[in-house]
Structure 1
Amino acid sequence: MKIFSKIIAIMLCSLLYIQCTEEKHTTNAQEIGLETENKNNFSGKLNIQNSTIIYTAKANAELAFNISLKIDKTLIEATINYENESILINGYDNILTETQKGALLTTGKVIADYILETKEGEISMTAYALLSMVEYIGKSPVNYIYSKRNIKSAKNITNLKSRNEGITCIRKNSYVNAEYDDSRGTHKDRVKVGSKARKNYGCMGRCGSDCGRWWIPSAWTKDCMDHDQCSNINNASGGSRDKNCGDEFNEAADDYIFGVIRGCRG
């Protein structure tokens, strides 16, 4: 666990210089509504952008964490296990508005500001698990239904030959074959990693929409590239429920959460 924590701390510290040159204000615990903070518990309540966010991350084992996010009256819970690379998400079939997701992402940013400014990037795995889930939920597609899902990483394959490669790293400025299927059949498109296909489709191959946010390290993987290209071509929406790209969305979920730990940092 210490090795994982050091990896994340180094990545966050690498962002500290950029953040400090942009802002002089120092975020404190009161501003993020922090109620409990230790290596096994990071919890608080925050009123931000007309929403009330209650966040809780608790370790239930050395590399397993329970995450609870309540946005106004909407509850989403998750269990993240970094040892066997599995995620259990239960959103009780709720839907977040874009305003609520914006408030959630802002919550993630101010928490990251607090960690960078007061802890010099020394982030616990508990807090990192929380930030990862905040980003994952906050950047979900419009009108996405948060149903109950059990996600487990497939066996990792490194030769880039088949669909759902597990977690396979790709590097920015290289070219990979984005593989996906839709109502027209099976496709294999040559795409440059990190390129911008069109508006809202920058950073192709990065796990998450567009180019993301500075405060959470990004994973760059083959499954995320497959979904990016499928979504780009088919104007996908609805995440796992999209008729063309839903399977690619599901296959990229483990990459999003575990890709950084695997070293897929572009």
Structure 2
Amino acid sequence: MISALNKIEPSWTVSQLIQAFCTTRQGGLSQSPFNSLNLGLNAGDDSVDVLQNRSILRSELPAEPLWLKQTHGITVSTPISRSTLTIGAFEADASVTNIPNEVLAILTADCMPVLLASRSGDVIGAAHAGWRGLSGGILENTIKEMLALSPGLAISDIRAWMGPAIGPSAFEVGQDVLQAFALQGQDVLSKAFIPIPGTSGKYLADLYLLARDRLHTLGLKQIDGGEFCTVNDPERFFSYRRDKVTGRFASLIWISDKH
């Protein structure tokens, strides 16, 4: 079982129907450098250990999570699109549902997991928002699909929580990343990309600020989270940028059927 100390619950105000948490790297069976609760099957870890870790996680959930094959893209898995899948994981970087006890899951190790929920608790979403997906529109696409599942839902009634990701003091990027966001015309670029002195074309990027700005622009009023840094918290989080060979933790959300 995952103890309360080994999972992080979102700091947001949503319906009691909404259940969500993020795992840490603690509480599993994987050996170094995947120690210990690695949930990623494609990280190079022993698959037997990963499946046992997923079994530990499953004991905390009402159903097996809807694991995605994440590609740093902008495709969203929906109940309708999933109904046509015959075998394997759905290739997408976000998922939405309005079905109780359907557990949405995002795996990360520096990229930002973003959990979304309507105020009434009737529809939820989960997105894998690294810089590629974020600049490409993964959050916009996820919210679009949530609105499609809940006719009459106002964007201002959607809540967002930004889970553990690489923080602004650790996310060194090049001109290509800045350009990807510049093409979108975001107004916060001068605050979100801080030039690194003495290094031409290198910046410290604030993924949380970029995501918050996009969500505000869409019309979201309540955006929580964003206080983490996976790179600078090796006790709790896997970090690809820090370790290269490492595990993945999960951010999960579902609509409870227990009123």
The TM-score normalised by the length of structure 2 is 0.26
* Structure with the higher helix share, 1 or 2: 1
Please give the TM-score of this superposition, normalised by the length of structure 1: 0.26
Comparing both chains, which one has the higher relative contact order based on Cα–Cα distances under 8 Å and sequence gaps of 6 or more?
Answer: 2
